[in-house]
Chains A and B, each alone.
Chain A
Amino acid sequence: EAGVAQSPRYKIIEKRQSVAFWCNPISGHATLYWYQQILGQGPKLLIQFQNNGVVDDSQLPKDRFSAERLKGVDSTLKIQPAKLEDSAVYLCASSLVGEGITFGQGTRLTVV
């Protein structure tokens, strides 16, 4: 079974630039998550999709972050404009009810 695919693996941008991350979940997983993990902290949920609908985006900084999952499969997360404090690992994950959550390899973003 293929895992959760994410790209790119690493990204370095200057502050105020924009960046986009892509995620393809495990086939058949209706639920897709984007987490932000700052060094030394646990993953923080940014947004959760069920198929192509948003379940929870209460911690998404909507003035600069956006995410979509138009066809209920793959998803993109965008930051525009980026700030220094956005430097983190961005983890995409997917799940089936009762089967735990599976993470992608993550994207390490550095904002300079």
Chain B
Amino acid sequence: EDKVVQSPLSLVVHEGDTVTLNCSYEVTNFRSLLWYKQEKKAPTFLFMLTSSGIEKKSGRLSSILDKKELFSILNITATQTGDSAVYLCAVEGTIGNQFYFGTGTSLTVIP
């Protein structure tokens, strides 16, 4: 059964801390892995990863994929209160354009 597992489930940090969110997957016919940020209702796109070892970076956020060990990490440096959100990991399969979502990591950044 295809599945995506995220850890930790929740995290509380202070502003300025660095956090690492984890996503492991077991999906046959892998096409890509995506990270989303969900603050209120709609998840918003952060990164799409298709190749191992190539870091994607956007400001204080970065992500990398390991296709051999079947996991990805999302790093956030110098966290701010605006980073408080649920971070979702999803894996896209090659058959039928299907996406498999993890349960998300709830990040709370306190001033």
Residues of A within 8 A of B (CB): 31, 33, 35, 40-45, 48, 50, 55-56, 89, 91, 95, 97-98, 100-106, 108
Residues from chain B with a CB closer than 8 A to the CB of A97 are 97
Contact A41 B99 (CB under 8 A): no
Shortest distance between the CB of B33 and any CB in chain A (Å)? 10
Q: Which of the four size classes fits the interface of chain B?
A: 20 to 34
Contact B99 A103 (CB under 8 A): no
Stretch of B41-49, B51-59, B73-81 at the chain-chain interface: B41-49
Identify A33's interface contact among B42, B45, B99, CB under 8 A: B99
**Chain B contact residues: helix, strand, loop or mixed:** strand
Residues from chain B with a CB closer than 8 A to the CB of A33 are 99
Contact B34 A89 (CB under 8 A): no
**Residue-by-residue, is B57-101 near A (CB-CB < 8 Å gives 1, otherwise 0)?**
000000000000000000000000000000010101000111101
**Measured between alpha carbons, how far is A42 from B36 in the docked complex, in Å?**
11
**Measured between alpha carbons, how far is A98 from B45 in the docked complex, in Å?**
14
- Nearest residue (CB) in B for A103 is B42
Contact A91 B99 (CB under 8 A): no
Identify B103's interface contact among A42, A100, A104, CB under 8 A: A42
Contact A42 B102 (CB under 8 A): yes
- Nearest residue (CB) in A for B95 is A55
**Residue-by-residue, is B14-52 near A (CB-CB < 8 Å gives 1, otherwise 0)?**
000000000000000001101010000111110010000
Identify B97's interface contact among A89, A95, A103, A104, CB under 8 A: A95
Residues from chain A with a CB closer than 8 A to the CB of B99 are 33, 45, 95, 101
Q: A50-B96, A55-B96, A100-B92 are in contact. Are A42 and B101 (CB under 8 A)?
A: yes
Most buried by B among A41, A44, A98, A108: A98
Contact B42 A50 (CB under 8 A): no
Q: A50-B97, A95-B97, A106-B41 are in contact. Are A42 and B104 (CB under 8 A)?
A: yes
